[in-house]
Structures are given as structure tokens and as C-alpha cells.
Amino acid sequence: MHNNKKNHLIIMREYIFLFVCLAAVLVFSATACAEELNPRIIDSAYVSIEKSGSITLDAESDNAFSNLLTLHLNMPQTNERQVGEITLVEGPDEYNVTRDGWGNRMLNLKWIKPPVGKKLDYLIKFNVATGRGSVREKRKTPPLTDLIRPDETIMDAAFRLKADNDIESIFAVNDWVHSILLYDTKYSEVSKPATWVINNRRGVCDEYSNLAVSLLRSIDYNAWYAAGWAYTGDKWESHAWVRVYTDEDEIMEMDPTWLEYPLDALHIEFVALPDSNNTEYVESSGSGYKIVWSKGEMKLDIANYTEKNITDAYALPLSEKMRESSANAIKVSLTSKTCYQGTLTATSCLGENGKPLLDFISDEKNISFCSNTTEFFFFRSPKIASMFTRYSCPIVISTSEGTKSVVTVSIEGTGNRKDIFLSFPESVIAGKSFDMTASVNGFDGIIYAEFAGIVKSGMSKGGKVHFTFDSPTMPGEYELIVFAEGTDLERRQIKVVRKRSMEIKNVDVLHAVNLGESELINVTIFSNSTNHGTVVLKMGDYEKKEAFSILSNSRRVLSFNVTFSNEGKNDIAITLFSDKYEDGRIESVNVMTPQRVMTEHAKDILNIITDFLMWLGDMIKEMTGW
């Protein structure tokens, strides 16, 4: 603000709000060394920084004057993780370093009786020695602000994410924020409150950090917004992350935007605040002018650095040989010298068309663990041109810090894909356990099931394998993957809901019938209150509905007479509605004919012959060197 009255002395303060996640094309962009490197592997670094700009007092009256002009700037902090020192200050008449109300070091540039109408340039240089890890500087919990104050939606999410210990709770918040938000540079010049973010689910690092801080504050953690500069791999960007104090007086710094813990050494902190309302400002004593502040380009250069891997990965395919159009999985054993959060990626070899040869269900996973963990990647092989064609395909498994493990699978012969028959609920209550079964006709081996990132396995000897899973505490849709080695895999969605008034308690159905037979399917409904609703049974083009009424805390059995007219695998979908969706269940039925049984046996015999011929070819090649 300003005052045009002559000879009237005022104190002028102009706040400049820095939204630290600006795109590189804006004035806050930075130059860096041209070298490309993975910042996640950087254990320590020495970085030189230049910060420059200019201030002009534009006269708005004939007798404008200024007695003092002070520019308050953020600067690299000094703590257990980094040491920042000033090496050069040019431009001001004097300068000093003080601390703001939150304990951050601030650099104050002062001009005594600065001339009105003249551009005042400044240049500051810093050297920063930084290392991987977290700070150890204890701070009191700051007050809640409008940018981080939680509402009921945030508090509900926070309590569902809270685990039995600090590290699991903090990792759950970091992972959830990273997973649900869409990075959108349209919000680079604004800073949205956490209540807006959780509903709109987009933003940049300010929004990621505000929401993470709000969630952590909801479950009584002393959490702070931290900001500065971070290296992306080929350039520096202004960036924000989160600092949180645990109940055990430990301090963790995590990056929800990039899903990173511990922070690499190229996160350079300039400030720690309650929220993203990060201010640098000008203070002036004078009259008759307005302040024009132009910020120069930040320049950061990595002088030297050291690298250190803190994770190891060992990958192993469940089967090194597979047939065309069949499924397989890679088991990855991970270890870390500390607790770790990041990503795990699977990269397939390329086919003749330049595209990945293998079809991964998901080629990237978020990982969070302490000491060790195991992850699985499920994938399908392609269809191949001839039963005598063979592919050898290397697969690279890599962590976000660049640790790699390479495995190779071979694909050969014709496939005899066997169907996987499932029985599972389509919806479950958040935080409750549920049962499901899987089977493959004529299959003796291990069946795997993955739900919400948890993988379980069971041995099948031609029968069903039973699995019990705990559902996540956070409502939403989660993927169920069921895999049997050398056959195929199934992908289904299960809804996790907060509550429901009715549920499907049981479905009484034969899972193997003959073509053309009619069978009675009994569906048992349970209701917590007096209610009415509809059960819908669908199988292919067939659909039947049954309306019902039910008393409180009682069961009701509805019967459906179904004729099986399509051979092979038939999925029966049973859905329960009141005035809204309540529950659902899927039951797989194998509809057989004598011809189908003979065809399955013929395929098995063909595979045995093909395997023998391929083995014979390998032996001849080895003996003759051809």
C-alpha cells in the first residue's frame, strides 16, 4: 500500500506470496548443472546457490523520499540435515540474519536512504552442504490455519489411515495423498486449502503438502509444511514437502508429491511453516512512491555429490518357462537399511512392433516398508505365431532410487489356458475380513490371490483354495487379482464401503453342472433393520429379479431356477439393492459336456508332445552346436 500525502512518514510493507511449486517457465525457475542423475540415490551433496533481483521505488509525488528499505528473504536453513552459509552479498548497504516467528533463518537486506526512481540490484550467494535423512530440530505444534484446518471428510480419512504405530500411520498418509491426487500445473500460482484439495483431488506440491499436513494434524501429529528447492533428475524446481514429529520424539520428512522417504540430499530447505502461506516481504519507511520488486532467476549448481543405495531388490519369476497367452508372476524380495517409501517398476522387453512384449497388470507399485518386504508383478504372455517359436524376454525390476534386478522368461509352444473359477463378494465393509475361493479344473499347483496390495497363496490339488483377506479401512474400489501358474489370471473389482443395511450372507450353488441342466440357486439375505429390496441375478444374457421384504435382524432366502445353456465358464452375478446398491457376489460355474472334457484332454496331450519336441530340439542344438 502507499500514501500520496506530502511529508507524511509511513511504514510500508508489501507481502510477496511465494507459491513454491511454480513451473520452470515462471520467474522462480532455476538453472542447474546439465548432468542427469537420479536424486533418490544422492546421499550427500555440495550445492552453490545464487539469488538475485532488484527493487525500484517509483515516485508518485514530487517530494517522494525513503529513509530505510529492508528486504526480508528466505535462505537455506542450517540444521542436522544441511548447513547453509552466505558467501557473498552485493547491493545493500548492510545485511543481517534473524529468525522469524517459526524459527526460520531470514536474510535481511537494508538500504539506508535509498534513492527514489533508481533500480537497486542485489545478489546473494550461498553454499549448502546437505545429506540424506531428516532434521532433528524440535518445534512446538503450530496453530491450525485456514489452509490446513481439517473438516469432517479429512478427519474421517485420517482416522481410517491411522495405524498401530507412527511409521505405518505416516506412510499411509503419504501414500494415500500421493495416490489420490492428480498433479495439475494449473494450480502452480495459487495455494488451495486442504478441504478443497480432498474434494477436487488435484494440485501441485503445495496442495499435496497442505492435505498431508491436515491429515496428520487430525490424528494429533505435530506436522509442518517445508519448502525449498529439489532436483528432479535434470533440473531444479521450487518444491514443498512435509515434516512430522512422531510420538517417540523422532522427526520424519516425507515427500507426498514424489512419494519419497527418506528425503534425498537434493531437497534443500529454505523454510518450515504451518502451511504453504510462505512470505518474503519488503519493509519501507518513507512516502510518495510505490515499490516494484523484480525477482531474478534462482541458480543452483551441484558442485559434487556422493551416491549410496539404501535398497536391494532380488527378483525371481515363479516360472522361467511359460506358454503363449498364459499368466506368470515375478516375486520381488526387497530389503532396506532403513524404512523406505517409493516406487517399484517392472519393464518388459520389446516385441517386434517396438511395444512391450509382456502385458503387465500393473508395471508400477507404490512400496512402503521397514527392513524387508515382498512384492509381486503379474503379467500375461503374448500369442505367438507357431508352436515351435520361442521368445526369450528379459525383465528389469527397479526401485525409484535405481536399484535393479533382471530376470528372463522364455515363451514357447501353444497355450492351454485353463479357466479360474471364483467365489467372492463384490462389496465388503471397511476394516472387516472376508472369505473367497478360487479353483482351476485339473490343476495341481499354487494359486495366488492379491487384494489391496496383499498377496496370499494356497496349494491346489484339483480343488478349491480358500483365502481370507482383511479389507482396507479406506472406502473405495480395490482390485482383486487371482493367478494360477501356467494358466491365466482374473482381475475383478471389490467395493469397500463404510456400512450397509443389508448383505448377501450365502449363495447356495453347484459350481460344476452339465450343459442343459437346471439348478436351483438359493440366495440368503440378512438385514439389520426392517427393509425391502430386490435381488438381481445375471448370467450372460439371462437376468431375473426378485423383490422381497424383510424384518429387522432376520434372514430371507430367495430361490432362482437357472438353466445352464452355455458350456464352459459361466459367471453368475448376484446383486442386492434397497433404494441403493447394498451388496453383490460373483459365483463361477463350470458347465461341462463330454466333448469339452475330451478337448481339454487333447490339449493336455498336445502340450506334452510340444514340450517333448522342444526339448528334443534343444538337445540336438546342444550336441551339434547348430
Report yes or no on 436 lying in a domain: no
Query: What's the pLDDT score for residue 26?
Result: 33
Report yes or no on 532 lying in a domain: yes
Residue 107 amino acid letter: L
Question: Do 586 and 599 belong together in one domain?
Answer: no
Looking at 380, 412, 444, which one is the last position of a domain? 412
Does 458 score more than 80 pLDDT? yes
Q: pLDDT tens digits for 88-124?
A: 999 999 999 999 999 999 999 999 999 999 999 999 9
Question: Do 517 and 552 belong together in one domain?
Answer: yes
Question: Do 17 and 114 belong together in one domain?
Answer: yes
Q: Given strand 236-245, what is the order of strands in its sheet? A: 251-254, 236-245, 222-231, 267-273
* Structure confidence at residue 454 as a pLDDT band (50, 70, 90): very high
Instruction: Name the residue with higher pLDDT: 329 or 21.
Output: 329
Query: What's the pLDDT score for residue 470?
Result: 96
Q: pLDDT tens digits for 231-246?
A: 999 999 999 999 998 8
Cell 473438516 belongs to: 151
Q: Which of 79-83, 322-326, 384-388, 545-549 has the lowest mean pLDDT?
A: 384-388
Number of domains the chain contains:
4
Report yes or no on 319 lying in a domain: yes
Question: Do 542 and 604 belong together in one domain?
Answer: no
Report yes or no on 435 lying in a domain: no
* Structure confidence at residue 388 as a pLDDT band (50, 70, 90): low
Give percent of the chain above pLDDT 90: 76
Q: Is the peptide bond before 262 cis (omega within 30 degrees of 0)?
A: yes
Q: What is the pTM of this model?
A: 0.86
Looking at 412, 447, 468, which one is the last position of a domain? 412
Instruction: Name the residue with higher pLDDT: 509 or 417.
Output: 509
Does 610 score more than 70 pLDDT? no
* Structure confidence at residue 36 as a pLDDT band (50, 70, 90): confident
Q: HEC string of 246-309?
A: CCCCCEEEEECCCCEECCCCCEEEEEEECCCCCEEEEEEEEECEEEEEEECCEEEEEEEEEECC
Query: What's the pLDDT score for residue 445?
Result: 87
Q: pLDDT tens digits for 205-238?
A: 999 999 999 999 999 999 999 999 999 999 999 9
Q: Given strand 444-451, what is the order of strands in its sheet? A: 427-429, 489-497, 476-484, 444-451, 454-461
Question: Do 18 and 125 belong together in one domain?
Answer: yes
Query: What's the pLDDT score for residue 9?
Result: 32
Question: Do 18 and 56 belong together in one domain?
Answer: yes
Range of the domain at 116: 10-133+278-307
Distances (CA, A) of 2 to 63, 64, 69, 116, 286: 14, 11, 14, 14, 9
Average confidence (pLDDT) over 140-163: 96
Query: What's the pLDDT score for residue 173?
Result: 98
Instruction: Name the residue with higher pLDDT: 161 or 592.
Output: 161
**Kind of pairing, strands 568-577 and 531-539?**
antiparallel
456 CB-side CA count, 13 A: 14
Looking at 397, 412, 427, which one is the last position of a domain? 412
* Structure confidence at residue 604 as a pLDDT band (50, 70, 90): low
Does 34 score more than 50 pLDDT? no
CA gyration radius, the chain: 32
Query: What's the pLDDT score for residue 488?
Result: 81
Q: pLDDT tens digits for 472-494?
A: 999 999 999 999 877 788 999 99
Q: Which of 167-176, 480-489, 526-535 has the lowest mean pLDDT?
A: 480-489
* Structure confidence at residue 508 as a pLDDT band (50, 70, 90): very high
Report yes or no on 542 lying in a domain: yes
Does 60 score more than 70 pLDDT? yes
Question: Do 567 and 615 belong together in one domain?
Answer: no
Query: What's the pLDDT score for residue 5?
Result: 33
Query: What's the pLDDT score for residue 434?
Result: 96
Does 24 score more than 80 pLDDT? no
Q: pLDDT tens digits for 349-364?
A: 998 889 999 999 999 9
* Structure confidence at residue 248 as a pLDDT band (50, 70, 90): low
Query: What's the pLDDT score for residue 322?
Result: 87
CB-based contact 333:364 (threshold 8 Å) = no
Does 13 score more than 60 pLDDT? no
Query: What's the pLDDT score for residue 143?
Result: 93
Query: What's the pLDDT score for residue 599?
Result: 54
Question: Do 20 and 119 belong together in one domain?
Answer: yes
How far apart, in whole angstroms, are the C-alpha atoms of residue 209 and residue 157? 16
Report yes or no on 38 lying in a domain: yes
How far apart, in whole angstroms, are the C-alpha atoms of residue 622 and residue 607? 22
Query: What's the pLDDT score for residue 615?
Result: 58
Question: Do 21 and 81 belong together in one domain?
Answer: yes
Q: Which of 411-420, 545-554, 598-607 has the lowest mean pLDDT?
A: 598-607
Question: Do 49 and 127 belong together in one domain?
Answer: yes
Report yes or no on 255 lying in a domain: no
Question: Do 46 and 129 belong together in one domain?
Answer: yes
Total residues found in the chain within this entry = 626
* Structure confidence at residue 17 as a pLDDT band (50, 70, 90): very low
Determine phi and psi for 612, rounding to 5 degrees: -65, -45
Query: What's the pLDDT score for residue 595?
Result: 54
Question: Do 16 and 128 belong together in one domain?
Answer: yes
Report yes or no on 417 lying in a domain: no
CB-based contact 447:460 (threshold 8 Å) = yes
Average pLDDT, the chain: 88
Q: pLDDT tens digits for 547-575?
A: 999 999 999 999 999 999 998 899 999 99
